[in-house]
Amino acid sequence: MINSTEYVKAHILVRDVPQAKQWADIFSTEALQVDIIDCGSFLADVKLYLASNTTRSTMDRLLLPSALPGVDRVIYLDIDTLVLSDLKELYSQDTGPVGLKAKRSKNPHVATIGNSLRAWGHDNCEQILDHIDGKWPSFNAGVMLMDLECLRQCDFTAKTMRYVHEFGVNDQHACAIYAEGRCAPLAPSWNVFIGSDHDRTTPWHILHWAGSVKPWTPTAALHEMWLSYQPNHGVSCQNSRMPRVIETLDSMK
Ligand SMILES: [Mn+2]
């Protein structure tokens, strides 16, 4: 919030966090309205191929077009990100024909959806590739500009749920398959990976601890910077179950 020049509405995706409503009251101010979305048991019984440093909460971003029916667009942010610039500039950018803007994957091992599925250890990879083009580019879903109205019109939820239920793909693969290579590319400055990117990327608009070492770990790179942005309200942030944050300027309209 300290870097924002506009009113912000933050929709926090949570699971099993009884104190979330209390946090929303504590953190809401004239400049920031906090809203809680309880994702409960969404996809609890579905076999998923998830990275070891993620939980089923990673899937909850797929709910956004239906969870926020009155909202036209959001900036989705993982909990392991830190916003250092005004999000207003990102919020107004073009999301392309399928309503998604995200940072393309550069690493050749995960740069295409086919390679990424193999890297993720999918044992049903060839079955999935029978239905899609394995050369479609992959992207990081930790920071995304999402045109929710476009996503609703393009049946985003139905299309992503089909691949999640049939093949157990995670949210990132589901989004890449949905986009069919037409995701608008996000400038790297808006999703700077700590470790692989941050020493050669400027400016830093949004930092992202996308690997297994998270910013709340004292030994993490730039941990002190992350710590300096944490609110001093007596709420522990040392817990990987802290909610993810969506920031939107939608309610300014
Ligand atoms: Mn992340």
Distance, C-alpha 237 to centroid of its chain = 19
pLDDT of residue 202: 87
For the chain, the structural domain boundaries read 8-252
CA dihedral 169, 170, 174, 175 (to 10 degrees): -160
pLDDT of residue 232: 66
Rounded distance from Cα 214 to ligand 1 centre (Å): 9
Q: Which helix (H) or strand (E) holds 224?
A: helix 223-228
Model's pTM, two decimal places? Answer: 0.89
- Token output for 193: 């990976």
**Strand 244-248 with 139-147, pairing:** unpaired
pLDDT of residue 242: 42
156-167 and 171-179 helices cross at what angle (nearest 10)? 130
Number of alpha helices (DSSP H) and beta strands (DSSP E) in the chain: 9, 10
Rounded distance from Cα 156 to ligand 1 centre (Å): 21
Rounded distance from Cα 62 to ligand 1 centre (Å): 15
Q: Which residues surround ligand 1, an ion (CB under 5 A)?
A: 78, 80, 142, 210
pLDDT of residue 133: 97
Mean pLDDT by 10 residues, the chain (253 residues): 85 95 94 95 92 90 96 97 96 98 93 93 92 96 98 97 96 97 98 89 94 94 94 46 44 34
- Token output for 186: 């996000």
Rounded distance from Cα 234 to ligand 1 centre (Å): 24
Rounded distance from Cα 244 to ligand 1 centre (Å): 9
User: CB neighbours (10 Å) of residue 64?
Assistant: 21
CATH class as words, domain 8-252: alpha beta
Rounded distance from Cα 102 to ligand 1 centre (Å): 13
Q: 96, 143, 91, 63: which is closest to 252 by C-alpha?
A: 91
Can you give 57-91 as a three-state secondary structure string?
Answer: HHHHHHHHHHHCCCCCEEEEECCCEEECCCCHHHH
